[in-house]
Amino acid sequence: MAQIRNIAIIAHVDHGKTTLVDQLLRQSGTFRSNQAVAERVMDSMDLEREKGITIRAKNASFLYKDYKINLVDTPGHADFGGEVERSLRMVDGVLLLVDAVEGPQAQTKFVLKKALAAGLLPIVILNKVDRENARPNEILDQVFELFLELDATDEQLDFPALYASAKVGFAAREWKGVEEAQKHGMEPLFETILEKVPAPKADASAPFSLLVANLDYSEYVGQLAVGKIYGGQIRVGDPIACLPRDGVPRKARVTQLLGYYGLQRQELTEAVAGDIVAIAGLEQVEIGDTLCDQEDRPSLPRIEVDPPTVRMRLLVNNSPLSGREGKFLTARHLRDRLFREIRTNVGLQVEDSGTGSFEVSGRGEMQIAVLAEQMRREGFELMLSRPEVIYRKDEAGGVLEPLETLYVDLPQAVLGSLLECLARRGAEVENMRHLRDTVFVEAVIPTRGLIGFETELVNMTRGEGIASHLFREYGPKRGEIVLRGNGVLVSMEKGVTTPFALENLQERGQLFVGPGEEVYEGMIVGENARPDDLLVNPCKTKHLTNMRSQGDGKGILLDAPRSLSLEQAIEYIGSEEYVEVTPGKLRLRKKILSAVERRRSEATAGA
């Protein structure tokens, strides 16, 4: 147990966590010298590689000298905070990675707050010090101020700091330039981990106990429960008991015991207190359950996560074009997939309405959008509603809504546009800092005001603006927020779009479809230039006569249709609209497809 170190890597999005893990595994000799290893090897999901972010926490380990160091790579985005919270229960120290150019960001504060509250000792790594505009000493002062703000203990404030470049592959205790730092590689970081991270808090003489912090699945042995052993030891073949949140303890027997070496799992015959292992042999187990040697043992404290603030409705796809691409179409398929997801994703909650509709609640729209994207790639067809915030009541019966602190870094030239946008979304600016040609804005904004904000910021700043946000508190509900000022172009016909029809429609607004695409009544084919919705016929063809028209011989010039990603589509739709998600297509549509039925519903609601 004394030769084990368990450590998590925490940071803001895109500050270099996964790249650092790559270097630690390489320089510890985990990979052979001639072994081909992909960049960001810990990002195993396709979505993680495409988005450049970590979505799921993952385990790895390496040997250094006589020590086994278990690593946990955690997400940096607050939407996936549940992954961070469960991961921190397995470790005894954290590597806090901070960009030496950008400094501590919103999610840096989020993950550090969780780590300090758990009593973990940090090692601060100032990454990307080899960049021209790096300012490591100034950033180090900001990190220390952040520790003070988060009420760190004296022991946590006495953190070691290293100057590193995960991309180049070095970490130095003192900054004397790239050439000097490269001589020692990552060795100073390895030594600091051994010196500063304590041995696991576990009792080898106590009865066996393990807190399940993650679940996995093997095609060969079935369900795997992953966690840190808090007491005793375990061998293959030993009887164990699973203590659930409520209910009768379940007995089982260890059929396989797996440890980690590099990114691979290795079969073990036994494991001791302090190690992180995966246990097979349990058919039913959930994150937060306690595994122990006897069913009359007390449970370990369960993993608690922050409650969700956003919810969306996920439904069976009932559009006229449903069933053409997907393999999984029914409510039973959706129910099985969603309830399988919440077994491994503690940040999500699912409620089944029993009518082919499921209410999915999470930390943010991105978390639910990632789930929907995974499902469409697996062959599911479904529909998504507009994100809604989860309100609460205060003691006097007043309505409270979630508020977030928003941090925006953008060019000075577009500051006026940003302030106008924030005012429209119900935000209050708290702080503004001017740095050369950029300005840093800090504001308090309702969670519902954040829906679609990042897309608007990208368009406003031509991709130069950077935004991050952090849950703050529940406060009194603010006024109405109008996020979409324009109406939409709604198809009144079912058929295939024609260039002739689209040429006329593009004068009315911006199109979402191109020629030759199948549409149906009630499908949204574009954005109207005016505030009202407009019924259009994108399938209209030119009538043929024996008279030569003035336009004969002229080519039809169509603008490229606007393409929306799944997240952008979810942000765009209104309360009476759905996003239709299939493996090959994203379509926007009205909830009520018939124009007559929509008018009747509006009249009934108005009455």
Structural domain count, the chain: 4
Q: Does position 587 have pLDDT exceeding 60, yes or no?
A: yes
If asked whether residues 220 and 87 sit together in one domain, one would say no
Q: Does position 442 have pLDDT exceeding 80, yes or no?
A: yes
Mean pLDDT of 558-573: 85
Q: Is 158 annotated as a binding residue?
A: no
> Tens of pLDDT along 192-202?
888 888 887 77
Q: Is 447 annotated as a binding residue?
A: no
Q: Is 438 annotated as a binding residue?
A: no
Picking from 292, 319, 339, the residue at the C-terminal end of a domain is 292
Q: Does position 32 have pLDDT exceeding 50, yes or no?
A: no
Mean pLDDT of 273-277: 82
Q: Has residue 89 been placed in a domain? A: yes
If asked whether residues 19 and 77 sit together in one domain, one would say yes
Tell me, what CATH number does 599's domain have? 2.40.50.250
Q: Has residue 338 been placed in a domain? A: no
If asked whether residues 72 and 167 sit together in one domain, one would say yes
Q: Is 128 annotated as a binding residue?
A: yes
Mean pLDDT of 120-138: 84
Q: Of 72-81, 151-160, 345-354, 432-441, which range is least confident?
A: 72-81
More confident residue, 583 or 246: 583
Tell me, what CATH number does 467's domain have? 3.30.70.240
Q: Has residue 354 been placed in a domain? A: no
Mean pLDDT of 5-13: 78
Q: Is 516 annotated as a binding residue?
A: no
State the maximum Cα–Cα separation within the chain, in Å, rounded to a whole number: 98
If asked whether residues 472 and 586 sit together in one domain, one would say no
Mean pLDDT of 325-343: 86
Per-residue model confidence (pLDDT) at position 43: 41
Q: Has residue 9 been placed in a domain? A: yes
If asked whether residues 36 and 126 sit together in one domain, one would say yes
If asked whether residues 506 and 409 sit together in one domain, one would say no
Per-residue model confidence (pLDDT) at position 36: 40
If asked whether residues 163 and 285 sit together in one domain, one would say no
Q: Has residue 570 been placed in a domain? A: yes
Per-residue model confidence (pLDDT) at position 9: 83
Q: Is 18 annotated as a binding residue?
A: yes
Sign of the dihedral through C-alpha 245, 250, 254, 256: negative
For residue 302, give the DSSP letter: P
> Tens of pLDDT along 483-508?
777 888 999 889 898 888 888 888 88
More confident residue, 607 or 188: 188
Per-residue model confidence (pLDDT) at position 38: 42
Per-residue model confidence (pLDDT) at position 17: 67
Residues for the chain: how many in total? 607
Tell me, what CATH number does 253's domain have? 2.40.30.10
Q: Has residue 383 been placed in a domain? A: no
Question: Which of helix, strand or coil describes residue 604?
Answer: helix
% of the chain exceeding 90 in pLDDT: 1
> Tens of pLDDT along 44-101?
445 544 555 555 566 777 787 788 888 887 775 555 656 677 777 778 888 888 888 8
Q: Of 411-425, 454-468, 581-595, which range is least confident?
A: 454-468
Mean pLDDT of 20-47: 56
If asked whether residues 186 and 243 sit together in one domain, one would say no
Q: Has residue 494 been placed in a domain? A: yes
More confident residue, 562 or 435: 562
Q: Does position 338 have pLDDT exceeding 80, yes or no?
A: yes
Mean pLDDT of 264-292: 82
Picking from 157, 172, 196, the residue at the C-terminal end of a domain is 196
Q: Does position 41 have pLDDT exceeding 50, yes or no?
A: no
Per-residue model confidence (pLDDT) at position 92: 83
Q: Rounded to whole angstroms, how far apart are CA atoms 215 and 597?
A: 46
Picking from 152, 175, 196, the residue at the C-terminal end of a domain is 196
Mean pLDDT of 442-455: 84
If asked whether residues 406 and 537 sit together in one domain, one would say no
Residue 120's alpha-carbon distances to 90, 196, 256, in angstroms, are 11, 11, 31
Per-residue model confidence (pLDDT) at position 55: 56
Q: Does position 184 have pLDDT exceeding 80, yes or no?
A: no
Please report, for the chain, how many H helices and E strands are present, in that order.
15, 35
Q: Does position 315 have pLDDT exceeding 60, yes or no?
A: yes
Per-residue model confidence (pLDDT) at position 54: 52
As a whole number, the mean pLDDT across the chain is 80
Residue span of the structural domain in which 241 resides: 209-292
Q: What is the 3-state secondary structure (H, E, C) of 220-275?
A: CCEEEEEEEEEECEEECCCEEEEECCCCCCEEEECCEEEEEEECEEEEECEEECCC
If asked whether residues 464 and 501 sit together in one domain, one would say no
If asked whether residues 457 and 540 sit together in one domain, one would say no
More confident residue, 105 or 269: 269
Q: Rounded to whole angstroms, how far apart are CA atoms 358 and 342?
A: 13
Q: Is 129 annotated as a binding residue?
A: yes
Sign of the dihedral through C-alpha 316, 321, 323, 328: negative
Mean pLDDT of 573-583: 88
Q: Has residue 315 been placed in a domain? A: no
pTM for the full model?
0.73
Q: Is 477 annotated as a binding residue?
A: no
Mean pLDDT of 2-6: 78
* CB 593, CB 396: distance < 8 Å: no
Per-residue model confidence (pLDDT) at position 1: 53
Q: Is 19 annotated as a binding residue?
A: yes
Mean pLDDT of 247-268: 80
Q: Does position 522 have pLDDT exceeding 80, yes or no?
A: yes
Sign of the dihedral through C-alpha 364, 368, 371, 373: negative
Q: Is 114 annotated as a binding residue?
A: no
If asked whether residues 514 and 459 sit together in one domain, one would say no
